[in-house]
Amino acid sequence: MTTKTFKRALVWFRRDLRVLDNPALSQACELSKSVVAVFVVSPVQWQKHHKSAIQIDFTRRRLLALKSELSELNIDLKVLIADDFNQQLDCVLDCVESWQIDAVFSNREYEVDEVNRDQQFLKLLRQTPAKPACYSYEERCIIPPGQIVNGSHAPYKVFTPFSKNWLKQLATMGWHCLAKPNKLAIHSNTFASAAELAEHWHCSLAAEDWPAAEGLSKDYAVATPDILAQLRTFAREQSQDYQQQRDFPALDNTSKLSPHLAIGSLSAKQCLARLCHEHGAPWELAEGPKTWLNELIWREFYCHVMVAWPHVCMNQAFNPRYQQIQWPNDSLLFDKWCQGKTGFPLVDAAMRQLNQTGWMHNRLRMIVASFLSKDLMIDWRWGEQYFMSRLIDGDLSANNGGWQWAASTGTDAAPYFRIFNPETQSKRFDGSGLFIRRFIPELADCPTALLHKAGAGGHYIAPIVDHGERRQMSLALYKDHHEQLAQAG
């Protein structure tokens, strides 16, 4: 049995809101006699990062469940409020001092602001009289950023060779999910509640005290047994058909686990382990489970890219050649796109799904992103921010990677002349019009033969642009930009 090293440890939760497969929590419990946990609500920082109201509500509800689950381990979870990352530092340092913490445990975050915050925290922690120990762990990716490189020891810019190397390394290192920690002998509230923190750090998990509307995320489970049941059901019963059915938005055949991955109520490693438990080793999977695993690898790829090229966190194009492209940026067209009133039925249905539910089918994300950047010729960053402000599964690296792919400015970028045709996409992936009619009820009686056309053959609002004309304008925009770059040398 491992000897306990620390008397009082602090686990700083971020986007890792789970008790299973949580290395920071597991190590804190293994090495400490008593553990207290903290989560810091940061409304100003969330606003800066365009965090959606539905994800905030989802986070609050998950924290309520997490608080109960931690209590069963004799760990008290304190949820405090500090507007931004600078205040977060003061808040957590106050916790360390007030509760006489001798070790701080956390899982790493990779975004630029978060990395800078953690570096500053470590510096300040070392300056305190007690100088508590500080430990951080990898948990967001199955294979941590920096470990997958090409023959020149450089990170990959292209997905396919990255995925092959990822699978090769996985075969060597294997995978193992951490179990729930054992219950501690000493309940942390025996010391955590004894010292009151400054009043402005206090926070409540009541919905009225949070910067989001109550109930927005009510359709999403937050208790660990329910989350695991959702994962098991998908892996066992639906993943086999995933490759054939994933692109059809009218079908309920996607996992809907992305919100849990975004806030960390579920880990990518748990998803991998369950998939392999049901269907075998990653390199032996049938097409359906293999295709879903590929989605997890895409998620890892974009996270690795963000770490290797952090400028993508700072509103910059991955490919510097496209940083200064002159987008026309018509704000009226953008508003129509946001509202789902472009006159293109599938585009509008997708945007209404996003606005009404906080989620959008992945195929539709590609279609509406292509439409914004190529048909409307609007800066992809406008769309990236709008998605983050609405999505329950908003994640900077995945969202940024997807948008830059659609706009042909990122890694694995589609050539700039690849432009989705909304009508063709609509016929191919919603042939019966079931999805369109679900979110655009005014088209309930529209003949299917007309449903996919811009304006639905006069049965719908007039299209705001002509796809054929805008396609040519978009091609000219990119071509002119390339010629300007060539002239500039």
pLDDT band at 215 (very low <50, low <70, confident <90, very high): confident
SS3 track for 85-132: HHHHHHHHHHHHHHCCCCEEEEECCCCHHHHHHHHHHHHHHHHCCCCC
Check if the beta carbon of residue 241 is closer than 8 Å to that of residue 82.
no
Lowest-confidence region among 211-215, 304-308, 368-372, 471-475: 211-215
| Residue 122 neighbours by CB under 8 Å, 6+ apart | 134
Name the catalytic one among 97, 138, 295, 423: 295
Note the pLDDT tens digit of each residue in 247-300. Answer: 999 998 999 999 999 999 999 999 999 999 999 999 999 999 999 999 999 999
Tell me, yes or no, if 295 is annotated catalytic: yes
Quote the pLDDT of residue 314. 93
* pLDDT score of 105 more than 70: yes
CA angle 389, 390, 393 (to 5 degrees): 100
Note the pLDDT tens digit of each residue in 6-27. Answer: 999 999 999 999 999 999 999 9
CA angle 8, 114, 133 (to 5 degrees): 25
Name the catalytic one among 97, 278, 327, 355: 327
Name which of 146, 113, 119 is nearest 134 in CA terms: 119
Note the pLDDT tens digit of each residue in 24-41. Answer: 999 999 999 999 999 999
Tell me, yes or no, if 403 is annotated catalytic: yes
Tell me, yes or no, if 99 is annotated catalytic: no
CB burial of 28-54 (b: ≥16 within 10 Å; e: otherwise) equals: bbbbbebbbbbbbbbbebbeebbbbbb
Q: How many residues does the chain have?
A: 489
In the DSSP assignment, the letter for residue 83 is S
| Residue 275 neighbours by CB under 8 Å, 6+ apart | 235, 239, 282, 285, 289, 292, 293
* pLDDT score of 199 more than 70: no
* pLDDT score of 1 more than 50: no
Check if the beta carbon of residue 166 is closer than 8 Å to that of residue 143.
yes
Name the catalytic one among 12, 99, 298, 382: 298
Note the pLDDT tens digit of each residue in 466-479. Answer: 999 999 999 999 99
Other C-beta atoms closer than 10 Å to the C-beta of 488 total: 6
Q: Look up the pTM and report it.
A: 0.95
The Cα 219–Cα 199 span in angstroms is 34
* pLDDT score of 432 more than 60: yes
Name the catalytic one among 380, 382, 384, 400: 380
Name which of 32, 36, 34 is nearest 13 in CA terms: 36
Name which of 417, 431, 328 is nearest 370 in CA terms: 417
The Cα 43–Cα 211 span in angstroms is 7
